[in-house]
Chains A and B, each alone.
Chain A
Amino acid sequence: MLVRQPAFRHASGTLLALALVAAADLAAAQEVNLYTTREPGLIQPLIDAFSKTTGIKVNSIFIRDGLAERVAAEGTRSPADVLMTVDFGELINLVEKGLTQPVSSTVLQQAVPANLRGPNGEWYALSLRARVLYADKNLDLSSFTYEQLADPKWKGKICIRAGQHPYNTALIAAHIAHYGEARTETWLRGIKANLARAATGGDRDVARDIMGGICDIGIANSYYVGLMRSGAGGPEQVKWGDAIKVILPTFQGGGTHVNISGASVARHAPNRAAAVRFLEYLVSPEAQKIYAEANFEYPVRAGAAVHPIIAAFGPLKVDSLSLTEIAKHRVAASRLVDKVGFDR
């Protein structure tokens, strides 16, 4: 026995080691495959935090357009587990094409308000952002409505990105939901007549162009202000961010237009459990804090804090229109953009 004991110990040690290796293998084998239209720079901090917390590896691919085509073509063999989009319309499009599956999770249901998820858990919003007004900081302006964008007094003074960009088609769709297509067309023609330059570039360009004297006001997303002013984008961008002031515009008698980033579990997800876990993580207090602090977005989770730079804009009063209602007018919005030659 005396002789054997160390041997036994040795053997048990080996077993333990083997078990550990096996467990490690199992953990390593845990993966989740993410297809995203969200820019990698905005999602990477969350992926890193998730992998650190859970040990689950996230393989991701950024596909700006064609996410639906790609997943549909891949069919039952698709490795996609989570489909994430930057825009509500894109997310609904995935659901309507039958590329997603419902997820019922109490964690998700408790964290995400009912109007920010699919009725059967086909999709979940993860973060919110507002479509706000950037204005020259020397401008005497303290409130603004989206309707005023068409006011001729802004002729040659407005900068905005392409009308066909989902951020803008969503805003135009919201206008249609409020006023109908005919009035929206007049409104769009009015904005078009007010443009200071071609409708192109990104949202940050609006701030830079205001600083550069090209325009006085422009429409852009809320979180870019945080990315610029915080210095996360480098010293140059701090100047752009400081050249503007931010006003939360509203529809007349309504609220501010918001859009979401959101995600669904793919219909043929090979790692469904890990996929659900990933979504649950993204709405956890920890992840929602990252959304607020690293991305400067509004968290979806009730009670999660907003970053001070964003909070300084004042209280956000979200427009009462439901996202589903807005999504119905997305194609009509896109057609109006063509019709009035907005991007021409």
Chain B
Amino acid sequence: MKALRRILILLHFFIIILGVSGLKVLRNPVFVNLLSVYNSFTNTNGNFSFFAPNVGDDYSLNLKGYGVSKFDENMTLFPETNNETRLRYRTLLWHFFSGDKDMMALCSRSWAIFCMNKDLSLDKVVVSIYENSYPSMSEYRKGKRLSANLVYESVIDAK
């Protein structure tokens, strides 16, 4: 029992060190998969690089809904009931850009369907995502301000 416990502890920390250090010691896809599965369950050997190495820009979402007799420019897909909810919606946009193009298309389609389910009169939703570009401190002192650039747009038709 003692030996088994020791082996498990060593194995656990070995997996953590391998995972967090990003060392590609085990290039075999089987090992890579095993590490990934372990992380999916435990989260112990995942990525802990919060706000590192640099602090990136954030994003804002704009949804426009079109219907037979309706145009809604300020659709509130995300009811920000409290601070935590708001954080989670913004996290969604960060995750959105970490995925591949197919996943982006699926997600934006999913948001549009969510809007159409909420408002049955809509038959088209335009999903636009803007990247908020932040000035550096010296740029801010020189008068440069935050600017939003369109980085993703998708039109989803109900038909």
Asked if A pairs with B, the answer is no
Interface residues of B (CB under 8 A from A): none
